[in-house]
Amino acid sequence: MRSSPPLATALLAVCSVLALQSCYPARPPSSGTSVDGDADTDADIDFDDHGENWSQPGEHGLASKLQDSECGTCHGDDLLGGSAGVDCDVCHPADWRTDCTWCHGGVDDSSGAPPLDMDDSANGISFPEHGAHVQRLDHPAYGCAECHLRPVDVLSVGHLFTADDTPALAELTFAQGMSPAGSYGRSGSCSNLYCHGNGRSGGAASSGENYGCNDCHRKSALSGEHDEHLEEGVDCDDCHGDTVDRNDNIVGPDRHVDGDVDLAMDELSWNGNSCDGDCHGEGHDNEHW
């Protein structure tokens, strides 16, 4: 969660105090009593169970993510006030419920990729490659839906406040993306993914590893007449010039690992099954791949 400006922080502190006072009566002076004045029991809730810095985003925001505290208990399942009578929208920005970067990202860049782990730690985060996936590097900037079920808002089922049965864990599903059969091993390893495959079958990848062209485009796994063309000295850019250059550098990220086979040939046309025209000194009219 990004830092609030001084005025917003002050308002947040006031609202949080009002919320607690609305939830619980004022604490009696005796430190050994509960909010109702009786001796402390397991069933009693102390006024300062939340901690003195509860108004700070790093306190109540983290407690919400880890489900150490459930906001709906006092503020209602819809977070519009509940028994506390304090609407969460009063302190948070108007679009906080649907603005992904209010909680996710918005610090390093505007992509929404978390620069911090779920526990707000910047060291040893569980998936350091997160940022690379949402940036336009040697592939398109992938959206959240490639690996996650993107919620409509903060109250979407399974997302933080409503029926989230995996506290402190990001739920992964590839069903909405290019790798519907993919899986994640909770250790930074993915398998059966289009984006790490050879274009025809799924591949695997592990966090911390570096991958080059041959890790996906192995000669033995290339389709059709690729092998024959490569042996004759045809380079990748002769057929995929909008994607890669003569030195195998990706020059068209939006055409690489985008779910389509992208061809760009100067002297040939391709209809999806065969070529027409001349290439490397040979006629290719109706030449099947």
Q: What is the pLDDT of residues 107-156, one digit of tens each?
A: 777 777 777 788 888 777 788 888 889 889 999 999 989 999 889 999 99
pLDDT in tens, 241-266: 999 999 999 999 999 999 998 999 88
Answer yes or no: are the C-beta atoms of 60 and 68 closer than 8 Å.
no
Give the integer Cα–Cα distance in Å for 143 and 133: 8
Answer yes or no: are the C-beta atoms of 268 and 277 closer than 8 Å.
yes
Tokens 């290439």 belong to: 279
Average pLDDT in the chain: 78
Q: Which pLDDT value is given to residue 125?
A: 79
pLDDT surpasses 90 at 193: yes
285: left (phi over 0), alpha (psi -120 to 50) or beta: beta
When pLDDT is averaged across residues 200-228 and rounded to a whole number, the result is: 87
Q: Which pLDDT value is given to residue 128?
A: 85
Give the integer Cα–Cα distance in Å for 83 and 225: 69
Lowest-confidence segment of 84-88, 123-127, 135-139, 173-177 by average pLDDT: 123-127
Side chain identity, residue 235: D
Residue 217 CA from chain centroid, whole number:
26
